[in-house]
Amino acid sequence: MTTRGRNISDMKEDQVSKAWVNFRGTSTVVIRKSLNVTSVTDSGTGLYYINFTSAFSDTSYCYTLFGRDPDNTANVVNNAGCAASDAKATTGVRVRYSYNGVQLDSPEMNFMAFSNET
């Protein structure tokens, strides 16, 4: 298989996501697709805890998170990430989503974590 002219088998271990998940964050949380994510816990409005199937060796992994606008309105500010009090763990991470400055549940959340471990 190739992507952008590169053979995927030529990619190095540190060039691929070690964990990712697409989930519905409204009502009952539902994982749509995932890799190395065993569950997503609803921790309150706009708060989620992402649990890894296989733990990372340390907390120096890098992650990105984004959510879909609840009402598809233009000119909105979405913020997805974590607060200083949301410490990363090797087994998972607590994340949050806000929309126009208000913490809300998102109809679609996407998370990816990267690390150079094999």
pLDDT tens for the chain, 118 residues long, are: 444 555 555 555 555 789 999 999 999 999 999 999 999 999 999 999 999 999 999 999 999 888 887 776 655 566 777 777 777 899 999 998 888 788 889 899 999 999 887 6
Residue 82, domain extent:
17-114
Give domain status of residue 99, yes or no: yes
Structure token pair of residue 37: 């994510």
Contact 68, 8 (CB under 8 A): no
Give domain status of residue 6, yes or no: no
Q: What does pTM read for this prediction? A: 0.81
Give domain status of residue 3, yes or no: no
Tally the domains of the chain.
Answer: 1
Give domain status of residue 5, yes or no: no
Give domain status of residue 44, yes or no: yes
Place of tokens 């190095």: 12
Write the single-letter amino acid at 72.
Answer: N
Give domain status of residue 61, yes or no: yes
Tell me the C-alpha to C-alpha distance, in Å, between residue 102 and each of 46, 70, 94.
9, 12, 18
Give domain status of residue 2, yes or no: no
